[in-house]
Amino acid sequence: MAVAHRTASAAEIRAAVGATVTQRTVTNWLLQGQLRARRPVACISLTPNHYRLRHEWFQARAHRRTEWRSAVFSDESRFCLGASDGRVLVRRKPGERLQPTCLRPRHTKSTPGVMVWGAISYDSRRTLVVIPRTLTANLDVSLVIQPVVLPFMNSIQEGVFQ
């Protein structure tokens, strides 16, 4: 049952078994099978097209190992403030971290939070830029592109911005 219903607690498994066993016995059985309670990996659900596009992008650049020194990667992340983290545990064995049944899709609804932007390259990184409100194209240019990205890219010889 633990593998079929990865979010089932030891108490729920004990109730479903129907035998008179303690919750600790169920936990011991799970541990013997290397099924430990872990937080699921939060992810954005990707479509088959997303996987195909990512694979094509990587394959087109896999042979260019020396060019990775001039690549700059950036991303913005939003951190939720004050809301419940909705903690859910899943039972999984070692090596099953990214199995679809062990993932928890992230919600995309608006909650109080802060957004930050950062960038890294092979041998350097930029300080985080705090985005004070909804990120628009104008705000991106005035807070990120002009004051941070352009000087950073000028400092990297033949830099490629991803």
- The Cβ-side half-sphere exposure at 30, using a 13 Å CA radius, reads 27
State the total domains in the chain.
1
Full domain range(s) for residue 123:
39-88+100-161
Residue 3 resides in a domain: no
Residue 55 resides in a domain: yes
Residue 66 resides in a domain: yes
Give pLDDT, residue 49. Answer: 92
Residue 125 resides in a domain: yes
Residue 13 resides in a domain: no
Q: Report d(CA 119, CA 138) in Å as an integer.
A: 19
Residue 120 resides in a domain: yes
| Between residues 88 and 32, the one the model is more confident about | 32
What is the length of the chain?
A: 162
| Number of neighbouring beta carbons within 10 Å of residue 154 | 9
CATH label of the domain that carries residue 151: 3.30.420.10
Structure tokens at 106: 């992230």
Residue 23 resides in a domain: no
Write out pLDDT tens, residues 43-81: 777 788 988 998 898 888 776 767 777 788 888 888 877
